[in-house]
Amino acid sequence: MIYLDNSSTTQVKAEVAEKTVNAMTKDFGNPSSLHRLGLNAEKIVKESRAIIAKAVNADPSEIYFTSCGTESDNTVIKSVVESGKYRGKKIITTEVEHPAVLKPCEWAEAKGYTVIRIPVDKNCMIDLGALEDALDADTLLVSVMAVNNEVGSVMPLEKVRELITKKAPQALFHTDAVQAFEKTELDVKKLGLDFLSISGHKIHAPKGIGALYVKKGVHVPPFMLGGGQESQFRSGTESVPLIAGFGEAVRLAEADKAARIKHIRETRDYLKEGIIKTFGERAQINSPEDGVCSILNVSFTGCRGEVLLHMLEENGIYVSTGSACSSNSKKKGSHVLRAMGLSDDAIEGAIRFSLSEFNTKDEMDQVLKTLKEVVDVHSALLKLQHPGKFRA
């Protein structure tokens, strides 16, 4: 098996699984219990929180565990709107956010808030001029993702911060860093962030665990009410096993960050160069040159991405046509590729390869060989079925 769908989810590392299982079978206490088992569990949560805080240059008291990136994103938008503490009726985001941001923005819109979705260029880069024009004294929240999940563009968050400070200093600033965490540098202080969302299962931790950074001094109402865990902000007994795994995944990722990113980038670039060499004009690279290390989005002319996906799967190669989440959406085709101005054919023929540290150049050689076979077979079949559509 060659797994190239790491932006959808990743394989849990053995060390991470071990920590998770230990917290289920040995240190299984409730962190709120006053006895020793409870204290052991509390210690695990505290250690993981500290590791995650350090990785983004936050204070541990600014990190809240959630169930996933989606919950972190929802918490920010819904809590800011519900708060009533912060002034403004305008939320600014981008056209290419994940549904975990776009959907709560629609919810806010239904409540009477104005939502401005800033467009992107052909490299999936936010239009900073349009952002500057949109920012004003009525802006409540700005939510711009750190890395786009479909093509890997890295958004210029420092510049976004500068514009917010210049035009709307009262506005709160959130980034969905689910695809950026442990693949780019994220420093909440340098970026002047009020909120940052991350998720465990994108970095070799189990599914069902995320975290939210909330800057000290920013007060929004809790999203979950109950026993008052997570400093009253997110009630519900802490998932100690998943938190233990998340902490371990971050510890491992931090330990070899530069070398790991370099390896992923080199492997991805090897695949990219191979695709360009093999397919020439029959492949269009949709990911920007300076994108995140792990993502390569390519459109194969005259092909349907979904068919290619299944043909590759037959050969033990796992890829995606866009984001796993957007494949559930009712709207046809990727809203990200559409916002970048791609044609319907290019959108239909798009495949996302997303790599992790486990991938190798040998695997990429195998992928290139198989890709050539399946693209040739598929485009020949499509030409037979729709002779008018393709030039000889």
- We find the least distance from the C-beta atom of residue 7 to ligand PLP, in angstroms, to be 6
- We find the least distance from the C-beta atom of residue 98 to ligand PLP, in angstroms, to be 4
- We find the least distance from the C-beta atom of residue 125 to ligand PLP, in angstroms, to be 16
- We find the least distance from the C-beta atom of residue 198 to ligand PLP, in angstroms, to be 9
Q: How far is CA 265 from CA 18, 70, 152, in A?
A: 28, 27, 12
Task: Decide whether 340 or 375 has the Cβ nearer to ligand PLP.
Answer: 340
Residue/partner pairs of 101-104 with CB below 8 Å, 24 or more apart:
101/73, 101/77, 101/143, 101/145, 101/176, 104/73, 104/74, 104/77, 104/78
Relative orientation angle of helices 14-25 and 240-255, to the nearest 10 degrees: 150
Relative orientation angle of helices 240-255 and 36-55, to the nearest 10 degrees: 40
Task: Decide whether 11 or 33 has the Cβ nearer to ligand PLP.
Answer: 11
Sequence length of the chain is: 392
C-alpha Rg value of the chain to the nearest Å: 22
- We find the least distance from the C-beta atom of residue 336 to ligand PLP, in angstroms, to be 10
* Alpha-carbon span 296 to 222, nearest angstrom: 38
Task: Decide whether 90 or 201 has the Cβ nearer to ligand PLP.
Answer: 201
- Strand ranges (DSSP E) for the chain? 2-3, 63-66, 90-94, 114-118, 139-143, 172-176, 195-199, 210-214, 283-285, 295-300, 317-318, 350-354
Among 189, 194, 190, 186, residue whose Cα is nearest residue 141:
194
Q: Which two tokens stand for residue 82?
A: 């519900």
By CB under 6 A, name the binding residues for ligand PLP: 68-70, 73, 98, 100, 145, 149, 176, 178-179, 199, 201, 210, 323, 325
Catalytic residue among 68, 293, 303, 325: 325
Burial of 156 (0-12, 13-18, 19+ CB in 10 A): middle
Amino acid at 333: G
Cα torsion angle, 122, 128, 133, 135, sign: positive
Residue nearest to ligand PLP (CB): 69
The 3-state DSSP class for residue 318 equals strand
Catalytic, 105? Answer no
- We find the least distance from the C-beta atom of residue 65 to ligand PLP, in angstroms, to be 12
**Active-site annotation, residues:** 325
